[in-house]
A and B are shown apart, each in its own frame.
Chain A
Amino acid sequence: MASAESSVERASDSDLPRQSWWTRTRTSRTAYTYLFPALIVMAIITFYPIVYQFWMSLTDFGPSSINPNVANYKAPEYVGFQNYRLILQDKLATVDADLNSFRFWRTLGFNIWWTFSNVVFHVSLGIVIAVLLNVEGLWFKKIYRAIYILPMVLPQLVIATIWRNMFDAKEGAVNLFLKIFLGPAFPEAGIDWLQRVEPVAFGLPLSYFAMLIANIWLGWPFMTIVATGALQSIPKELYEAASIDGATGWNKFWTITLPLLRPAMVPATILGIIQTFNLFHVIYFISGGGPLGQTEILVTQAYKLINGNSLFGIGAAFSVFIFIILGCISAITARISRVAESYDG
């Protein structure tokens, strides 16, 4: 801090005249000159909207409260915490009949389970493939690496729409593939991946599993790349020493590879958790939250409130919930990563 610095200077050179305010704040002034444009812009379109959002969430801001110049303009009215109450009690259907499949706690629970199940697959598959691809003497490594990066390279939006197409109930690629693979066991009418309402396993609809497949496809390459980077920085001597001590390959994987991968994998996993938690494109374009809102996650639900139903007040209250929940998640993950760091010594 500039002030601390200058006070130290003053203490040591006490015979010098006290520096002027202009000189003392010099570093801070330079810094704020550099920050100025970014701070102005962010104050207006990043920080102010967050404050505005809190105000909106306490009003009945609706589609006709946007533009004051039209005839049916209705000024937003203060309603206290009514929006929050409606959300927590799943009573949004009283505002808009479209929303009768809205279930806040189900959506939150599904969102957490969705994140957890995806990240487990991403990280474990990512590590396994990275380790196998790193085996010395494997042929065509470069070709495999070039292929494996493809899911990261394509835009997420396009990937999501492609998988939506592949899970089509009639001529989708997945059904055509299963038809060949299963032969006569394949149901005559095809598998309706995305619309089938009845849950198939663990109380989750088929569309969840379809999206899980799509998102595993999408997510593991990133973990593999991070793990490969970390693997290549593990010194070979460690393995040689372990072999001399009689460790098997399996032992070495658990006692050398995994612990040394952790410093790289923990931040990547946290990144993965937050990205998957907010994975809008995959859910919105593949299942659209359906059937009957069973696979809705928080962001898609918020988006539907704001875009589909134009319920800005309720959408703002819902977004405040997202803020709180994400705040909690990031606090937990920050704590986990700190524990992991201290464990690494």
Chain B
Amino acid sequence: MANSSIAQPTSRKGLFARGRGAGRQLEWWQQLLLQVFCLVVAVSVLFPIMWIVTLSFKEAGSPRSSKLEIIPSSISLSSYQAVIDQPLSKTAGDISFWKLMGNSFFLAAGVSFFSVMIGVAAAYAFSRLNFVGRKFLFLSIGFILLMPGIATLAPLFAMLAKIRTSLEVLRIIYFVLAGLIVAGLALMTVSRIRSDDFRAGSIAVVFGGLAVAGLLLWGGLGIDIPKNAKPFDLGRSLYGVGLAMISGALPFAIWNLKGYLDTIPKELEEAAIIDGASPNQIFFRIILPLATPALAVTAFLGFMAGWTEFALTARFINKAENYTLAIALQTMTGQYTTVSWSNFAAMSIMISLPVSIVYLALQKYIVGGLTLGGVKG
């Protein structure tokens, strides 16, 4: 980009310089001004981050400093140790740090895996197949995306909290999943036999699918329900939070993936269609392999949203054993008078680090996708 962009009085000088093409040198004072500007911006970006990093390296429980420190003077990991040993204060509940992390991971990974898996099939239909009601369905998904998750919190909570008969519910879910898989396999088999395309690969898929369905059935049967057990409260469990989150995560996954699939050139499929490929073959052999980075990014965005999900979790969960990292962080900010700031800082960093590193690694793909259609974060 030739010098165009800065407004400065000597752009006439720049005119001559431009003739020499790329690798242009800036005047020293232009360079200086720009460097000062960029440094100021960089410092303002880094200021909160350095503040929290410095705090986290203080001794656990050390008193607040009345001097501004944004560069750690000494490094002590005792705050991290303290948070790992006891993330919540005694009154807030007894739960280990690893359990918190496990809960958050279970929630985030489950939601993102589930929504991407069934989202990609729907996205393929929206992107490549023409069917009755396509536009209407897609627009209603777009409308859902505009709505904040909190706007459907009341009905979701009321619905899910009603389901509290027993662990029977979980078993039903397992059975329904197995039934869905069997139904899908049957449909696939029928359509393949009709198009004379039932080969070894299909047989393998059918057997694999039946095996998974069998596993689910077995798992459902295996759920152990003790007599006089407390009723299983879907609305008060992480399963319930996960379901409520999928209500927003699935439309997001469909929308996001459809945007990516639209960018895959159609020529590849056209060649395959000429060779007689069916929509199923196109989906499994062409689209899915090409969409792997998109799947990864969408799954990661879903994961990141789930990892720090607060609003739904705080409404649904009422037992300390089901707390997540986000809830724990909130209890630490809620009691600024009693909780040590260095513990809070260490907790924030431990929550951020895993997702931030992955974000940085996937950054190139994510940024392209964000503009395609991420409204729900």
Contact = CB atoms under 8 A, between A and B. Distances in A.
A155 B147 contact: no
Interface stretch (A102-110, A234-242, A336-344): A234-242
B130 A303 contact: no
A149 B363 contact: yes
A100 interface: no
Interface string B162-195: 1010000000000000001000100110010000
Please indicate which of the listed interface residues A3, A151, A299 has the most CB atoms of chain B within 10 Å of its own CB. A299
A147 B314 contact: no
B109 interface: no
A316 B162 contact: no
A278 interface: yes
Given A1-B131, A280-B150, A303-B153, A136 B356 contact: no
Contact of A171 (B66, B152, B254, B332): B66
Contacts of A89: none
A207 B129 CA distance: 51
Contact of B152 (A50, A168, A242, A256): A50
Interface string A223-260: 00110010110101001101100001110110011000
B370 to A, nearest CB: 7
Interface stretch (A10-18, A91-99, A156-164, A197-205): A156-164
A45 B244 contact: yes
A150 B150 CA distance: 27
A21 to B, nearest CB: 13
Interface size on B, as a range, is 35 or more
Contacts of B344: 161, 165
B320 interface: no
Contact of A240 (B18, B146, B244): B18
Given A1-B130, A38-B122, A137-B23, A56 B48 contact: no
Contacts of A46: 144, 152, 247-248, 250-251
Contacts of B161: 66-67
Interface string A265-292: 0011001001100101100110000000
**Interface of B, helix, strand, loop or mixed by DSSP:** helix
Contacts of B1: 134-136, 231-232, 234, 236, 239
A158 B34 contact: no
A157 B38 CA distance: 27
A129 interface: yes
Interface size on A, as a range, is 35 or more
Nearest to A57: B154
A322 B148 contact: yes
Interface stretch (B6-14, B81-89, B205-213, B291-299): B6-14
Contacts of B143: 327, 330
Interface of A: 1-3, 5, 27-42, 45-50, 52-53, 56, 61, 65-69, 129, 131-140, 144, 147-159, 161-166, 168, 170-171, 173, 176-177, 179-180, 217, 221-222, 225-226, 229, 231-232, 234, 236, 239-240, 242-243, 248-250, 252-253, 256-257, 264, 267-268, 271, 274-275, 278, 280-281, 284-285, 299, 302-303, 306-307, 312, 315-316, 319, 322-323, 326-327, 330
19 contacts: A3-B132, A30-B129, A32-B131, A38-B250, A69-B164, A150-B46, A154-B49, A158-B351, A161-B344, A162-B48, A171-B66, A217-B45, A243-B2, A249-B6, A253-B7, A271-B371, A302-B151, A303-B150, A316-B155
